[in-house]
Amino acid sequence: MLKKEDGKLFLEEEHNIIAELIYEEHDDYYDVTSTFTEPEYRNRGLAKDLVDEIVEMARENDKKIQPTCPYVAAAIKDDAYDDVKIK
């Protein structure tokens, strides 16, 4: 189940965090600083689900994304994310 806290999006299973995305919220952008998925849950697209969620948040709140995290930078390099990328 996807959950949100200030500066954090995460997925839980049986009250354990299995994947998380950490970000800092600024006036006009989100600085996504890290993503992490527990090893036994990797390669299931969970981190990408979290990236998709922050992209939707950015679009809904008219913000951009600063992908400090290398995974996020790679995940949003496609032209489909041009509307949320800081240029």
Instruction: Report helix, strand or coil for 7.
Output: coil
Pairing of strands 29-37, 64-67: parallel
pLDDT at 87 over 90: no
List of domains in the chain: 2-81 (3.40.630.30)
Rounded distance between C-alpha atoms, residue 20 and residue 81, angstroms: 21
In the beta sheet, which residues pair with residue 31? 24, 66
Per the listing, tokens 């970000």 go with: 23
> Based on C-alpha coordinates, what's the Rg of the chain?
12
**H-run or E-run covering 59:** helix 46-60
Averaged pLDDT for residues 53-58: 98
pLDDT tens by residue, 13-33: 999 999 999 999 999 999 999
